[in-house]
Amino acid sequence: MAIWVALDAMGGDFAPRATVEGALLALKEFSDLGIYLVGQPEIIASLLKRKKNRRLEIVPASQVVAMDESPIGALRTKQDSSIRKAFELLKEGRAQALVSAGNSGAVLATALFVLGRIKGVSRPAIATVLPTIKGSAVMIDSGANVDCKPHHLLQFAHMGMVFCREILGVSSPRVGLLSIGEEGGKGNNLVKRAHQLLSQSQLNYVGNIEGRDIYRGDVDVIVCDGFVGNICLKLSEGLAEALMCMMAQEIKKHRLAQLGFTFARTALKNFRARIDWRERGGAPLLGVKGVVIISHGRSDACAIKNALGTALGFVREEIVANLTEALENLPAVLSQGEK
Amino acid sequence: MAIWVALDAMGGDFAPRATVEGALLALKEFSDLGIYLVGQPEIIASLLKRKKNRRLEIVPASQVVAMDESPIGALRTKQDSSIRKAFELLKEGRAQALVSAGNSGAVLATALFVLGRIKGVSRPAIATVLPTIKGSAVMIDSGANVDCKPHHLLQFAHMGMVFCREILGVSSPRVGLLSIGEEGGKGNNLVKRAHQLLSQSQLNYVGNIEGRDIYRGDVDVIVCDGFVGNICLKLSEGLAEALMCMMAQEIKKHRLAQLGFTFARTALKNFRARIDWRERGGAPLLGVKGVVIISHGRSDACAIKNALGTALGFVREEIVANLTEALENLPAVLSQGEK
């Protein structure tokens, strides 16, 4: 039986062309996938041409939320937006997952409004998989919550741990708190208090880590607020790009070196592609009652196809059920944070 | 006439060997430099052997502040520490600048206690020069203040602007505020309110920048709180290292490429060295009444020599006088932030 995913066909810088093309690619690649293309029917139909597929269905939504629109405003005034309709399909159980490359603030707000949160979660968070020297690590939150309380970070840690265990297959994920010194006393007020909560938790908490440890691979889950997480992700992306330019400048001086440079550049390009997981396969919004995959605003058809594949994996691995179970079984630890 | 610098001979992971050797190197390189080596006289004398120099003087201080000691505790209980004595030389006017690779929290606390702040400055901040694709940019604050108010960021912007103008020679530095989106409404509470203050200021304020813009070189001054700044610096350092490893893995597969890799590695190493300015030449603590250069804890003799050179440059350029003048002439803008 097919797993149906609601795709926000109107969301993203290159929508609806990229979303429709991505959906067609995904149908070819994943034989158990069904897609609801949610958005303006005429436009979507014109892009589909006459391609018919039993696993593809257009669901009409007359409105589009702009990329820079106020999330709360959109929630209030655009009740027939593609984002809203897609979430309703998920809520009704017609779809088992949702993918959107649209206004991520609006996706977050609508997720909270339509789906609601898993018990024990105050704030849903975005989990991003980063490449490290030794493999992969999960950074949570990578952008959903800019102002956090200590118990939010504790909850992020729990969600990141479950995600890491279920999706990356790490049996006892090591959790680190991003700060500016290894000692527990180092950091801003938020991090100092979060450190205390994490130290008392049953997590495999290794303590504070510093910026230079992120890519070292000694922890599996990196906990931070969404402001810091987002800056770290974008800095990494930008630095990889800048280093490529600096290397090119260096190497121009040495003609013999240009051959080797090709390979160095490949490594950097791979890194850049791996670092922005949203661009590759979307990043999950953890903590809401449903599988929600947020893709990068500038997703192309291939990125959309990958995000649909990610959604499929999350449904198969029953990540939401596992998260719900893990968080419900930890009332003592989480309620400490609620004080 | 020589410019005298007070060097905390006991500060840093490799002190006093690195500091004493660094001082000797600096005396050779800078003919107008005089150095007070502040610390335990027997140890310093034994390292100097019999080298006499009219431009080198030992100033006794019986106590040493450990790298992980509480700054406030050290200030209270170690009144004869090398840090404290060095600041007193500066305060008395015997020295015109100070260099320390010791406990940076203790250096900051002692600077505030002994020297005091320039009028108009609530919080001194550390300014770090970063390499960009197009040249250099100043990141302020890179670690002195972990919890900030909006008007602190406004003051950092003003100090960064003066530093950039006087030391990097940029006539009208472009100031950017580090956030998670380009629109003014994006960011955490701190950044949103700082954006309003900066927009009303007379600075050449270009608005929010994102993590990926830091190394792009489109702004000259990057304003952020010290928690975020420190994480960005250390992340950059760690990422350059991680990319080197990833490139090495990629290149091992291609024997022909290894020649070129040497040059790529050189570029990355150069970047790493350039990124940690404290390691190269120390970073100034701006906003206190005196020239204070903070060096990296792991400074070797060469880094100490460079930091002494930086101190010399700051005295010559009269950076403190210029900062004082610039900040005193801006009472309206700064007092807006004090509300």
Q: Give just the sign of the alpha carbon dihedral B167, B170, B173, B176.
A: negative
Name the percent of chain A lying above pLDDT 70. 89
From B4's Cα to the closest Cα of chain A, the distance in A is 33
Ranges in chain A annotated CATH 3.40.718.10? 1-121+287-317, 127-276
Task: Write the residue in B143, B228, B239 that is nearest to A228 by C-beta.
Answer: B228
pLDDT at A91 over 70: yes
Q: What is the mean pLDDT of residues A269-290?
A: 77
pLDDT at B248 over 90: no
Number of CB atoms found within 10 A of residue B28's CB:
10
List the single residue in B with minimal CA-CA distance to A142. B180
Look at residue B90 in the predicted model and tell me its pLDDT.
97
Confidence band of B32 (pLDDT split at 50, 70, 90): very high
Task: Write the residue in B235, B257, B266 that is nearest to A232 by C-beta.
Answer: B235
Task: Write the residue in A131, A238, A257 that is nearest to B263 by C-beta.
Answer: A257
Pairs across A and B, CB distance < 8 A: 201
Which residues of chain A neighbour B191 with C-beta distances below 8 Å?
227
From A275's Cα to the closest Cα of chain B, the distance in A is 11
Look at residue A263 in the predicted model and tell me its pLDDT.
65
From B294's Cα to the closest Cα of chain A, the distance in A is 16
Q: Between these two residues, A289 and B259, which has the higher pLDDT value? A: A289
Structure pTM?
0.87
pLDDT in tens, A137-157: 999 999 999 999 999 999 999
**Architecture field, domain B1-121+287-329:** 3-Layer(aba) Sandwich (3.40)
Q: Inter-chain contact B68–A183, Cβ cutoff 8 Å?
A: yes
According to CATH, the superfamily of the domain at A1-121+287-317 is: Isopropylmalate Dehydrogenase (3.40.718.10)
Q: Inter-chain contact A243–B271, Cβ cutoff 8 Å?
A: yes
Q: What is the mean pLDDT of residues B129-144?
A: 92
pLDDT at B207 over 90: yes
B207 within 8 A of B237, measured Cβ to Cβ? no
N-to-C CA span, chain B:
45
Q: What is the mean pLDDT of residues A62-80?
A: 93
**At residue A252, what are phi and psi to the nearest 5 degrees?**
-55, -30
List the single residue in B with minimal CA-CA distance to A192. B146
Task: State the fold for domain B127-277.
Answer: Isopropylmalate Dehydrogenase (3.40.718)
Question: Could you give the CA distance from residue B208 to residue B192 in angstroms, rounded to a whole number?
Answer: 9
Q: Between these two residues, B59 and B329, which has the higher pLDDT value? A: B59
Q: What is the mean pLDDT of residues B230-257?
A: 78
Look at residue B277 in the predicted model and tell me its pLDDT.
57
Which residues of chain B neighbour A259 with C-beta distances below 8 Å?
256-257, 259-260
Nearest partner of B20 among B299, B269, B293, judged by Cα: B299
From A139's Cα to the closest Cα of chain B, the distance in A is 13
| C-alpha A161 chain-centroid distance | 15
Q: What is the mean pLDDT of residues A200-215?
A: 94
Look at residue A339 in the predicted model and tell me its pLDDT.
42
Alpha-carbon torsion, ordered B214, A293, A18, A70, to 10 deg? -70
B211 within 8 A of B134, measured Cβ to Cβ? no
pLDDT at A311 over 60: yes
B50 within 8 A of B85, measured Cβ to Cβ? no
Q: What is the mean pLDDT of residues A235-240?
A: 88
**The domain defined by A127-276 carries CATH number 3.40.309.10:** no
From B41's Cα to the closest Cα of chain A, the distance in A is 32
pLDDT at B89 over 60: yes
Question: Which of A18-22, A89-93, A147-151, B254-258 has the lowest average pLDDT?
Answer: B254-258
List the single residue in B with minimal CA-CA distance to A237. B212
Q: Give just the sign of the alpha carbon dihedral B12, B13, B17, B22.
A: negative
Question: Could you give the CA distance from residue B117 to residue B123 in angstroms, rounded to a whole number?
Answer: 8
Confidence band of B114 (pLDDT split at 50, 70, 90): very high
pLDDT in tens, A94-114: 999 999 999 989 999 999 999
Question: Could you give the CA distance from residue A213 to residue A177 in angstroms, rounded to a whole number?
Answer: 11
Q: Between these two residues, A184 and B11, which has the higher pLDDT value? A: B11
Question: Which of A123-137, A231-245, B317-331 has the lowest average pLDDT?
Answer: B317-331
pLDDT in tens, B288-309: 999 999 998 889 999 999 999 9
Q: What is the mean pLDDT of residues A170-175?
A: 96
Look at residue B253 in the predicted model and tell me its pLDDT.
63
Q: What is the mean pLDDT of residues A56-64?
A: 96
Confidence band of A61 (pLDDT split at 50, 70, 90): very high
Name the percent of chain B lying above pLDDT 70. 89
A98 within 8 A of A284, measured Cβ to Cβ? no
From B107's Cα to the closest Cα of chain A, the distance in A is 16
Q: Inter-chain contact B261–A263, Cβ cutoff 8 Å?
A: yes
Look at residue A259 in the predicted model and tell me its pLDDT.
60
A contact test, residue of B72, B128, B227 with most A CBs within 10 A: B227
Q: What is the mean pLDDT of residues A156-184?
A: 92
Confidence band of B133 (pLDDT split at 50, 70, 90): confident
pLDDT at A330 over 70: no
DSSP, res A79: T
B contact test, residue of A148, A247, A258 with most B CBs within 10 A: A247
Cite the beta strand spans of chain B per DSSP E: 3-8, 33-39, 56-60, 97-100, 125-131, 136-140, 174-178, 204-209, 221-223, 283-286, 291-294
List the single residue in B with minimal CA-CA distance to A145. B188
Name the percent of chain A lying above pLDDT 90. 69
Q: Inter-chain contact A214–B227, Cβ cutoff 8 Å?
A: no
pLDDT at B283 over 50: yes
From A282's Cα to the closest Cα of chain B, the distance in A is 18
Name the percent of chain B lying above pLDDT 90. 68
Task: Write the residue in B188, B230, B259 that is nearest to A256 by C-beta.
Answer: B259
Q: Inter-chain contact B133–A242, Cβ cutoff 8 Å?
A: yes
Task: Write the residue in A230, A267, A268 that is nearest to B180 by C-beta.
Answer: A230
Q: Inter-chain contact A251–B267, Cβ cutoff 8 Å?
A: yes
Question: Which of A224-233, B85-94, B245-254 has the lowest average pLDDT?
Answer: B245-254
Q: Between these two residues, A135 and B154, which has the higher pLDDT value? A: B154
Confidence band of B338 (pLDDT split at 50, 70, 90): very low
B299 within 8 A of B305, measured Cβ to Cβ? no
Question: Could you give the CA distance from residue A106 to residue A64 in angstroms, rounded to a whole number?
Answer: 11
Q: Inter-chain contact A211–B146, Cβ cutoff 8 Å?
A: no
Question: Could you give the CA distance from residue A260 to residue B260 in angstroms, rounded to a whole number?
Answer: 4
pLDDT in tens, A24-48: 999 999 999 999 999 999 999 999 9
Ranges in chain B annotated CATH 3.40.718.10? 1-121+287-329, 127-277
